[in-house]
Structure 1
Amino acid sequence: MRILRRKRKPLEIDDINIIDEQKSIQAIKAAALGNAIEWFDFGVYGYVAYVLGKVFFPNASPSVQMIAALATFSVPFIFRPLGGIVFGRMGDKYGRQKVLATTIILMTLSTFAIGLIPSFDTIGIWAPILLLIVKIIQGFSVGGEYAGAAIFVAEYSPDRKRGFMGSWLDFGSIAGFVLGAATVSAISNILGETQFAEWGWRIPFFIALPLGLVGLYLRHALEETPTYQQYNAQQNNAQKNSTPQQQSEKPNTFGTILSKYKRSLLVCIGIVVTTNVTYYMLLTYLPSYFTHNLGYAENHGVLIIIAVMLGMLFMQPTIGWLSDRLGRRPFIFMGSASLLVLSYPAFLLLKTDVIPYIFLGLCILALSLNMLIGVMASILPALFPTNIRYSALGIAFNISVVVAGLTPTVTATLVESTQNLMMPAYYLMIVGLLGLVTAYYLKETANKPLAGSVPMATSPEEAEELLEALHDNIEQKIEDLDQQILQLQEKRQKLADQHPKID
């Protein structure tokens, strides 16, 4: 039986979204600030892990205290996929803006609550239990945060600037981490180590509240993304013209997403694992590695890492801008290759106890990370169509982050059990190999519309250029298909010539 398909209406100039530049900037600010709060907590937690170990696990040895504190950091990552599933489904059904307003409330309150938890000496075993509960709530809310923020920025970005605009999302991550680390360092220096360990460590967590209120205000003031608005309008029109049976059809499940977008899911997982293992190794584990394993003074490595992170802030938008011109794949290739080849030399430099060499080693690792995070936020949303973008990305991203989030705990355990200080380097080398494989299978997304979406431009003139480029691309694809058909016809004829009964 032949299935008749209705001819699709050709894409015209009026179909292209013209993005208001001011609204794009507001979207970036709102998304980046939420990401900054998430990484502000990570920065603070990483730098006060040794204190939290004493406050919440006072009866353990120093090594076990640090591992326990880092484990409390890692365990909530197990709950991130649940948050990704819940918030992803909500984001695809009700819109991105509403979900992001919800996640920033939960994230802010849970970070603030850490500073309120009494010590083990005050309430006993309930202290670490409450810490774990708060971190689980935080993990659940963060499960919908990064994926939603990346989608929000991508759906507000014109095709030719998506790399640059997406790079500001992780600019917020680095800025939040630097702010968290700098806050801990400043308060520790002002109060002294004794008072900081007694009560001063709580202050950085309290600072998350005013930051979160600003972020909530920015997100609440934003409109829904143009891409989702257009998709929602199309769905409403389709709903009016659909039959009751079509209206009762169930939404896409993870099983159907997996069957239709397996390659995209695997590429997403590969990129996120490679990037976030490097992220957590450099930003969360290394502070404890410097003080506990290398025996450096607390501020010895902290100040150097902060200086390197400040350099990363400038590199981040630069790489995003370059990716709009050179493509995203080259940076995934280069960042992964750098991890594979240069991680070992970098950690040799970190062990020298010579500040210039330590700085150089950190710069090598930071540049590797920059090349990955500079393009991640612009790649991931482009892998999936609008109707399942939040659900698919929320699940794939957070499953990957579960693996990456174990990095501080696993690395600390490996170093303690083997007494081999180069274990972090080996860990990163394996991850670099994974990144190279992922880059090989990644299709280029630069300067192209999001999957299943119309092109987006900043002006009518740019819209005309995009439409012309799109038509040229379609013509080229048709020519390629015609060439393939011709080759197949020639191949068929050769086979037919060998058979007496086939023309």
Structure 2
Amino acid sequence: MDTINNNTAADPTPPSPPLIPTQSGTLELHDITIVDKVKLKKAISAAALGNAMEWFDFGVYGFVAFALGKVFFPDASPSVQMIAALGTFSIPFLVRPLGGIFFGVMGDKFGRQKVLSITIIIMAASTFCIGLIPSYASIGIWAPILLLLCKLAQGFSVGGEYTGAAIFVAEFAPDRKRGFLGSFLDFGSIVGFVTGAGVVVLLQSLLSDASFLDWGWRVPFFMAAPLGLVGLYLRHAAEETPAFQQQLAQMEKEDQDDVENRPRVSFKEIATRYWRPLLVSVGLVLTTNITYYMLLTYMPSYLSHNLHYSEDHGVLIIIAVMIGMLFVQPVIGLASDRIGRRPFVIIGSIGLLVLAIPAFKLIINGQIALIFVGLFMLAIVLNCFTGVMASTLPAMFPTRIRYSALAASFNIAIIVAGLTPTITAALVDSTGSLYLPAYYLMFVAVVGIITGIFMKETANRPLRGATPAASSKQEAKELLIETLDHIEQSVEDIDGEIVKLQEQIAALELRKQRYIDLHPRLD
């Protein structure tokens, strides 16, 4: 079998096999996208650097939260200072859905590359401005207000950042390497976090406590300017994704009036038609990011404030854990291309459920080696999620709504995830229980298990609404055979469903005739 008819342009409800735009109406070898390696490297670099910058800020903010509490909330108790500083970190997550909706619509209309260039400008500028804000002692209440405004601007831009970057990499990546290449997006996140934490540690070692509180904490935020310029250059140099270009080409084939007058896809329609991938997306984002924020944003404050460890030692342990995560991250992505994404989501969730209490027992023990082991146990679990998330989420939705749908679902979930440091700090402070973070993670693990059970496997399959993508001509031939075999099997499955429906219809017709036979005036 060399070709197979493709008689409809509509997006199917099932995720595979996708109905894809082709040149001749049938799927042939020339329809397989062979990815340009140079363009692919540019795309990954541009996406990963922007994501690294986002998490550079998160890392810096988490590790200087104690200083920000003293600078911007000096009249409060140490516990309230910590909660207030972490609250300023969490509140911007409330505006992320607005940014997600705005940039999602823009990304589906004008392209991924343009939107990612805009988000990195806003993110760099708002992060830089945090370093310029005078202290509470200088301008009073305006200090925390300005801090909140900068964080809100960050939240708005980040609303379109991660999802756009994940889509950018996924739409460039070959089908058989999407997991491995997508893992470098969160690899960039960890690098950004490690860099931010490392800068804080370096400054604290070079400066006195008074100097750090006076001006030293500002230095990491000023670094956002040069990082932003580099990221903007890389994103401006990168080309638009092949999948989005295919979408534009398909639209150009249609009548222009129909294209211009086509009603926009509303979130209500997306939620009605794609409710299952939306729920799976929300579950995966919740599980991943609550674990992420618990481990990498809240734990430094937990170690220093609640367990009274040296701030320097606590930061160094977290940095060592994150460096370990860097080695595991691409391994998980590579393995997911071999055995699938679902196994890692389910295994990671079960691991989180089983290991949360033992990990915190080691952390609370007080010995540095045991603290590291406890944190690294949680880090490996986190790698199971971050290693597959960037390749899993974009595969759930078709090209024409991918940015809008993913940004909406991602940022709805991130509201809850972003509140994790604040809620956890408040609960630990009010109850005095040092195991509350473990209980929190165990609850999240249940969400992850349910998500893993209901999610559909997307590894080694084309993105919905896009042609298969390969890294070489030989791989393209192999993908064509696999795709056609998969389509044949799907046609057979549909034939089977039709037979079942015909049998049900025949049974209903027989039942109907029996009723008619019993009625004297019906024939």
TM category, shorter: over 0.9
Matches within 5 A, 1:340-359: 340-359=353-372
Of 356, 359, 379, the residue aligned with 1:366 is 379
1:73 to 76, 89, 103: 89
Quick one: structure 1 residues 288 and 485, their matched pair in 2 at CA, closer, same or farther if it must change by over 3 Å?
same
TM-fit CA distance, 1:488: 5.2
Identity across matched positions, percent:
62
Query: What amino acid maps onto 1:260 in structure 2?
Result: R
Distance (whole Å) between structure 1 residues aligned to residue 216 and residue 61 of structure 2 = 13
Question: What letter matches 1:233 in structure 2?
Answer: A
Out of 63, 82, 102, the position equivalent to 2:98 is 82
Identify the residue that residue 101 of structure 1 maps to in structure 2: 117
- Partners in 2 of 1:400 and 1:500 — Cα distance? 52
Q: 1:293 aligns with which of 281, 294, 306?
A: 306
Query: Residue 303 in 1 paired to residue 316 in 2?
Result: yes
How has the CA–CA distance of structure 1 residues 445 and 206 changed in structure 2, closer, same or farther, with 3 Å as cutoff? same
User: Could you tell me how far 1:192 is from its partner in structure 2?
Assistant: 2.4
Q: Does 1:220 align with 2:233?
A: no
User: Partner residue of 2:292?
Assistant: 279
1:326-371 CA distances to partner (integer Å, 9 max, x unpaired)?
A: 1000000011111111111101110011111111101110001000
Tell me if 1:179 matches 2:168: no
Give 1:11 shift.
1.1
Which of 313, 321, 331 in structure 1 is aligned with 2:326? 313
Distance 2:511 2:151 in 1: 71
Q: Single out whichever of 156-165 and 488-497 deviates more from structure 2.
A: 488-497
Paired residue for 2:15? none
> Which residue of structure 1 lines up, in the alignment, with residue 491 of structure 2?
478
Contact 2:363–2:371, Cα closer than 8 Å, also in 1: yes
Distance 1:379 1:425 in 2: 26
- In structure 2, how many angstroms separate the alpha carbons of the residues matched to 1:202 and 1:500? 82
In 1, Cα distance between equivalents of 2:177 and 2:130: 38
Residues 1:467 and 2:483 are matched in the alignment: no
Which runs of 5 or more structure 1 residues have no equivalent in the other structure?
Answer: none
The residue that corresponds to 2:416 in the other structure is: 403
- Larger mean Cα displacement after TM superposition, 477-486 or 361-370: 477-486
Distance apart, 1:10 and its partner CA: 1.4
Partner of 1:37: 53
How many residue pairs end up in the alignment?
495
- Tell me how far apart the structure 1 counterparts of residues 122 and 99 of structure 2 sit (CA, whole Å): 11
Identify which of 13, 23, 27 aligns with 1:11: 27
Q: 2:254 is paired with a residue of what secondary structure?
A: helix
State how far apart, in whole Å, the 2-side matches of 1:285 and 1:405 are: 11
User: How far, CA to CA, are the matches of 1:288 and 1:7 in structure 2?
Assistant: 55
- Tell me whether 1:229 sits opposite 2:245 in the alignment: yes
Within 1, Cα distance between the matches of 2:66 and 2:512? 79
Q: What's the offset of the Cα at 1:479?
A: 2.3
Q: Where do 1:357-396 residues align within 5 Å? A: 357-396=370-409
The equivalent of 1:168 in structure 2 is 184
1:16 and 1:137 map into 2 onto residues whose CA distance is 41
CA distance in 1, matches of 2:8, 2:494: 19
Describe the SS at the equivalent of 2:173. Answer: coil
359-368 vs 488-497, greater mean Cα deviation = 488-497
The one of 429, 453, 457 aligned to 2:466: 453
The question of whether the paired residues in 1 share the 8 Å contact of 2:53 and 2:228 is answered with yes
Mapped to 1, the partners of 2:418 and 2:477 lie a distance apart of 44
One-letter code aligned to 1:459 = S
Q: d(CA) in 1 for partners of 2:30 and 2:95?
A: 43
Structure 1: distance between partners of 2:392 and 2:350: 19
Partner of 1:425: 438
Instruction: Supply the distance in 2 between the matched residues of 1:32 and 1:494 (Cα, whole angstroms).
Output: 58
Kept in 1: contact 2:246–2:466 (CA 8 A): no
**Alignment check: 8 A CA contact 2:176 2:459 kept:** yes
Q: Secondary structure at the match of 2:434?
A: coil
**Equivalents in 2 of 1:494, 1:237: separation in Å?**
45
Deviations 1:217-253 (A, max 9, x none): 100001111110111111122143x55xx63232101
Taking the aligned partners of 2:169 and 2:341, their CA distance within structure 1 comes to 17
Matched, 1:21 2:21: no
Cα deviation 1:271-301 (Å, max 9, x = unaligned): 0000000000000000000000000011121
- Give the letter for the 2:270 counterpart: I
Give the Cα separation in 2 of the matches to 1:182 and 1:237.
Answer: 52
Match of 1:126 in 2: 142
Amino acid at match of 1:360: V
Find the residue that maps to 2:366 and give its secondary structure.
coil
For 1:266 and 1:424, the matched residues in 2 are separated by 25
Distance 1:415 1:135 in 2: 25
Aligned in 2, Cα 1:235/1:494: closer, same or farther, shift over 3 Å? closer
Question: Is 1:205 aligned with 2:217?
Answer: no
Relative to 1, partners in 2 of residues 1:254 and 1:53: Cα closer, same or farther, differing over 3 Å?
Answer: same
- Which letter maps to 1:89? V
Letter paired with 2:436: M
* TM-score computed with the length of structure 1 as normaliser: 0.96
CA distance in 2 between counterparts of 1:404 and 1:281 reads 9
Q: Which amino acid aligns with 2:331?
A: T
CA distance in 2, matches of 1:120, 1:163: 46
Kindly tell me: are residues 188 and 452 of structure 1, through their superposed partners in 2, closer, same or farther at Cα, counting changes over 3 Å? same
| CA deviation map 1:459-498 (0-9, x unaligned) | 1211111111111011112223334444555666678788
**Are residues 1:49 and 2:62 paired?**
no
Q: Which residue of 1 aligns with 2:162?
A: 146
Measured in 2, the distance between the counterparts of 1:430 and 1:224 equals: 40
- What's the CA shift string for 1:420-461, capped at 9, x where partnerless? 010100000000000000111100000001112111111121
State the partner residue of 1:113: 129
- For residue 87 of structure 1, report the CA deviation from its aligned partner: 0.5
- Confirm whether residue 270 of structure 1 aligns to residue 283 of structure 2: yes
Aligned-pair CA distance for 1:60: 0.4
Q: Which residue type is aligned with residue 482 of structure 2? A: A
Picking from 254, 261, 276, the partner of 2:274 is: 261
Task: Between 168-177 and 247-256, report the one with greater CA deviation.
Answer: 247-256
Quote the Cα distance in structure 2 between the aligned partners of 1:487 and 1:251. Answer: 36
Instruction: Supply the distance in 2 between the matched residues of 1:124 and 1:438 (Cα, whole angstroms).
Output: 46
- Alpha-carbon spacing, 1:23–1:7, altered in 2? closer, same or farther (3 Å): closer
**Residue range with higher mean Cα deviation, 451-460 or 39-48:** 451-460
Q: Secondary structure at the match of 1:155?
A: helix
Aligned partners of 1:202, 1:107: CA distance in 2, in Å? 16
- Higher mean alpha-carbon deviation, 299-308 vs 378-387, is at 299-308
Relative to structure 1, the CA distance from residue 262 to residue 498 in structure 2 (aligned partners, 3 Å threshold; closer, same or farther) is: closer
Q: Does 1:137 align with 2:153?
A: yes
CA drift at 1:500: 7.2
Q: Decide whether aligned partners of structure 1 residues 82 and 493 sit closer, same or farther in structure 2, where only a CA change above 3 A counts.
A: closer
Partners of 2:307 and 2:292 lie apart in 1 by 20
